[in-house]
């Protein structure tokens, strides 16, 4: 028993060690690619600070102060060393430490993407199951068309049409931003999640105003997530329902709802975890267009602003956070995979 426990602990420590090494190498590679691409693009970060009318001496002094006079590999290793000490540098765009900016903007993206993935899961999975169980019917065709639209329509176009229709014309939802101008700055930063912080501080009016602002961008993200999840669920279900044991269950007179949910859906839940995880990570990383259209102060908008302003500290910091989120979500999906499927332990 003691030997088994020791063996189990060693295996756990080995797994944790490999995970740490994998995370470190992935983040290092991500930083290296982004860093060197940022140094070769035709955008001068020095001009973003001193302006194009600065004298040559001012330009050179700023260049030396930023360390851009050194070889690229020295600049990279110096930046990695700063990252390890928790120093992400200062943003040119905001004039604040990048780490403070990321702590401010990431919760906005997290809040919107989380609502979007919940919409995608709670609507997309039942739609995929329904389409598979009624293959070839009108319901199946409609759901497939919805999935096709989710893959083909540009996100920025849906956002603009949504704003024009539901905000400008019908006045059903709030406009751009997280809250209206009147409520801006009233809620203290506790978690960074506007819906949560407004409730924690008892500001119900701000909460409902935030709901009216987040419902449209989150629903649009949810639509694109729904299209992907419904399509994959339908594909998994069709493959499962064609298995021989499903046919045997039907021949034995098992009720159709049990055939669909117990014999069809239950085995594919492991595959759906991967699909949902990838979709969620994609929403956190790929909501740049929606954040731009809705003036949403999230990490996508922050990253875009940093790119336009040659703010490489902001770009590198945002890229590192996005990469870390991908790694974390993939690891959580692996853990859930092992919990739900004992064969993977």
Which residues lie across from 29 on neighbouring strands?
none
Q: Is the pLDDT of residue 274 over 90?
A: no
> pLDDT tens digits, residue range 251-261?
888 888 888 88
pLDDT of 2 over the 60 cut:
no
Find the mean pLDDT for residues 183-197.
88
Query: What pTM was estimated for this model as a whole?
Result: 0.85
Q: Which comes out higher in pLDDT, residue 296 or 313?
A: 296
- pLDDT (tens digit per residue) in 76-131: 888 888 888 888 888 887 888 889 999 999 999 999 999 999 999 999 999 999 99
pLDDT beyond 80 at 230: yes
CB–CB of 69/63 below 8 Å? yes
pLDDT of residue 342: 62
Lowest mean pLDDT among 55-69, 87-101, 266-280, 314-328: 55-69
User: Is the confidence at residue 233, as pLDDT, over 90?
Assistant: yes
Residue 317: which of 306, 327, 308, 326 has the closest Cα? 306
* Cross-strand bridge partners of residue 90: 97
- CA 204 to CA 261: how far, in whole Å? 40
pLDDT at 318: 87
Q: How sure is the predictor about 223, in pLDDT bands with cuts at 50, 70 and 90?
A: very high
Q: How far apart are CA 286 and CA 221, in angstroms?
A: 10
Task: List, in order, residues 6 or more apart from 313 with CB less than 8 Å away.
Answer: 88, 89, 90, 91, 92, 98, 306
- Contact between 302 and 314 under an 8 Å Cβ cutoff? The reply is yes
Domain 98-344: assigned CATH number: 1.10.3720.10
Asked if 173 contacts 213 with a C-beta cutoff of 8 angstroms, the reply is yes
131-165 pLDDT, tens per residue?
998 888 899 899 999 888 888 888 888 999 999 99
CA nearest neighbour of 221 among 116, 96, 72, 292: 116
SS3 state at 25: helix
What percentage of residues in the chain have a pLDDT greater than 70?
Answer: 94
Confidence of residue 208 (pLDDT cuts 50, 70, 90): very high
Query: Which residues, at least 6 apart from 7, have a Cβ–Cβ distance to it below 8 Å?
Result: none
pLDDT for residue 127: 93
End-to-end alpha-carbon separation of the chain, Å? Answer: 19
Q: Is the pLDDT of residue 67 over 70?
A: yes
β-bridge partners, 97: 90
Whether the predicted pLDDT of 279 surpasses 80: yes
- Mean per-residue pLDDT for 43-66? 77
Q: Which region among 148-157, 237-246, 336-345 has the lowest average model confidence (pLDDT)?
A: 336-345
Angstrom distance (rounded) from CA 271 to CA 231: 13
Q: Structural domain boundaries of the chain?
A: 2-84, 98-344
Query: Quick one: how far is CA 115 from the chain centroid?
Result: 11
- pLDDT at residue 304 tops 90: no
Of the two residues 179 and 69, the one the predictor is more confident about is 179
State residue 312's pLDDT score. 81
- Per-residue pLDDT, 278: 85
d(Cα 74, Cα 339) in Å, to the nearest integer? 45
Return the closest-CA partner of residue 139 out of 221, 256, 147, 262.
147
Question: For residue 99, what are its two tokens?
Answer: 């780490």
For 3-43, how does the pLDDT look when each residue is reduced to its tens digit (9 = 90+)? 556 777 777 677 777 877 877 788 788 788 877 877 776 67
Q: What is the pLDDT of residue 120?
A: 93
Whole-number pLDDT of residue 343? 59
């Amino acid at each position: 028993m003691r030997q088994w426990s020791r063996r189990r602990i060693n295996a756990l420590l080995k797994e944790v060690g490999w995970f740490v090494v994998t995370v470190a190498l992935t983040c290092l590679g991500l930083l290296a690619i982004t860093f060197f691409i940022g140094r070769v693009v035709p955008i001068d970060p020095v001009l973003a600070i001193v302006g194009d009318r600065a004298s040559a001496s001012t330009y050179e002094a700023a260049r030396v102060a930023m360390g851009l006079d050194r070889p690229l590999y020295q600049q990279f290793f110096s930046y990695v060393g700063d990252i390890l000490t928790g120093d992400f540098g200062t943003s040119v765009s905001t004039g604040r430490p990048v780490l403070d900016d990321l702590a401010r903007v990431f919760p906005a993206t997290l809040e919107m993407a989380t609502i979007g993935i919940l919409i995608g899961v709670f609507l997309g999975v039942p739609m995929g199951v329904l389409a598979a169980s009624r293959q070839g019917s009108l319901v199946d065709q409609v759901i497939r068309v919805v999935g096709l639209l989710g893959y083909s329509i540009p996100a920025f176009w849906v956002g603009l049409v949504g704003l024009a229709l539901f905000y400008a014309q019908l006045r059903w939802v709030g406009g751009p931003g997280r809250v209206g101008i009147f409520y801006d700055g009233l809620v203290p930063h506790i978690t960074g999640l506007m819906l949560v912080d407004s409730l924690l501080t008892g500001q119900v009016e701000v909460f409902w105003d935030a709901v009216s602002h987040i419902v449209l961008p989150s629903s649009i993200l949810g639509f694109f997530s729904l299209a992907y999840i419904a399509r994959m669920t339908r594909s998994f279900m069709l493959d499962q329902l064609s298995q021989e044991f499903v046919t045997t269950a039907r021949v034995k007179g098992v009720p159709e709802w049990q055939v669909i949910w117990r014999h069809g859906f239950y085995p594919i839940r492991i595959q759906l975890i991967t699909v949902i995880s990838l979709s969620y990570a994609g929403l956190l990383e790929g909501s740049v267009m929606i954040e731009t259209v809705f003036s949403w102060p999230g990490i996508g908008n922050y990253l875009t602003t940093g790119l336009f302003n040659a703010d490489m500290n902001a770009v590198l910091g945002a890229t590192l956070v996005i990469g870390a989120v991908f790694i974390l979500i993939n690891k959580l999906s692996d853990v859930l995979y092992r919990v739900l499927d004992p064969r993977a332990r």
